[in-house]
Amino acid sequence: METVISFTIPGMLPSLNQMLKQAQRSPYAYNKLKQDAEATVFLAIRRAGIRELAWPIRLEVDVYAPNRRTDCDNLQAGISKICLDALVSAGCLPDDSWRHWQMPEPFRYRFYVDGKNPRIEVKIFGKKGSEKGLTF
């Protein structure tokens, strides 16, 4: 039986281009950008009450961007990296290796524009009742 839990990240996360720009500037600038973004996702995960997840999991991500200025693939790359790292930091997954993702479609993205309320809505799909337990 598949189970779904979701959480919402307020605002937007850095795009791949923003992350690369900071990395070129300085490793410290990149690290600060990534840590701040990861902390935002971590708090959203905690607010949703998500704890240890049974794996493999898959994610559906609805991105409500403030406008269409950033390419979808740039947004997707930044969101993927930061969300995975935050799920590991929060103790939801042991690590972000391949074995913890359901293939062939570990992520599914949809993009919308919402200038008044930009956000990222993440749904986690997994199986409840396995030896790892999907808890929330």
* pLDDT recorded at residue 64: 98
Residue 134 has pLDDT above 70, yes or no: no
Q: Give the C-alpha separation, 94 to 4, whole Å.
A: 19
Phi/psi region, residue 64 (left: phi>0; alpha: psi -120 to 50; beta: rest), is: beta
Look up residue 27 and give its amino acid. Answer: P
Average pLDDT, integer, range 59-85 = 94
pLDDT (tens digit per residue) in 32-58: 999 999 999 999 999 999 988 888 889
Place of tokens 């979701």: 6
pLDDT confidence bin for 116, thresholds 50/70/90: very high
Residue 129 has pLDDT above 60, yes or no: no
pLDDT (tens digit per residue) in 25-36: 998 999 999 999
* pLDDT recorded at residue 136: 41
pLDDT confidence bin for 131, thresholds 50/70/90: very low
* pLDDT recorded at residue 3: 85
* pLDDT recorded at residue 128: 63
* pLDDT recorded at residue 127: 75
Q: Give the C-alpha separation, 47 to 9, whole Å.
A: 10
Give the list of residues 6+ apart from residue 115 with CB closer than 8 angstroms, or none. 66, 67
* pLDDT recorded at residue 44: 97
